[in-house]
Structure 1
Amino acid sequence: MQTTLRKPVSVGEMLVKEFMQPLDLTQTALAAAMGVPRKHVNELCHDKRAVTAATALILARVFGNSPDFWLNTQRRTDIWLVMNTPRERERVERAKPIDQAA
């Protein structure tokens, strides 16, 4: 499995730089539009909360894009983190194809 050396753009970075700043949206305003507590938005913006399917659907509705956009952004970051964390990468590399297991 190959992964890039450069960390992909995180959901928080994408949310803030590509959506909130151009629209001059505060975390409070976005939280109101999403119908979630401000803390939820703050945690998303600071990459302390992962995007779930429900959050992806909400963000897609608010910004007029697709839930897949948000889920794929999260997925790329998650995979990169696993592949660039020694302990996690070791876990992945211990796995064997089913025909070689046993």
Structure 2
Amino acid sequence: MDNWQDITDDRLVRPIHPGEVIADILNDLDINTGHFADILGVSNQTINEIINGQSSITVDIAIRLGKALGNGTRLWLNLQQKVNLWDALQSHKE
């Protein structure tokens, strides 16, 4: 298998923003954004901005998500990093 950057370089569409994954999880768990924001200890606005792809997953949010959902910090940081790398590569292609 090629290395991770080669896979990202050849990708034609932007990777899924971690906010979309969070939205799917909340939908599956039937939890609204306000309740989830309370669980994480952040504002509802913060969660909505992440879900809408307007904000990135920070290290702090990744830690909170990993603890709340039991899936660890790295998952969220890796998802965000793929988006960030793809966006940067696209801006350099122009």
| TM-score of the two chains, using structure 1 as the length reference | 0.79
Taking the aligned partners of 2:88 and 2:26, their CA distance within structure 1 comes to 28
Report the Cα distance in structure 2 between the residues aligned to 1:50 and 1:89, rounded to whole angstroms.
22
Which of 10, 25, 37 matches 2:17? 10
Structure with bigger RCO (C-alpha 8 Å, 6+ apart): 2
Q: CA deviation at 1:82?
A: 1.2
Aligned to 1:40: 46
Higher helix share: 2
> 1:21 aligned to 27, 36, 41, which one?
27
Shift of 1:54: 0.7
- % of aligned pairs identical? 25
The letter for the 1-side match of 2:66 is: A
Question: Deviation above 6 Å: which 4+ runs of structure 1?
Answer: none
Residue of structure 2 in register with 1:69 after alignment: 75
Whole-angstrom distance in 1 between the partners of 2:26 and 2:93:
34
| Structure with greater Cα Rg | 1
How big is the alpha-carbon RMSD for the aligned residues of Structure 1 and Structure 2?
1.3
Residue ranges of structure 2 left out of the alignment (5+ in a row): none
Number of matched pairs: 87
TM-score, reference length from structure 2: 0.85
Runs of 5+ unmatched residues, structure 1: 91-102
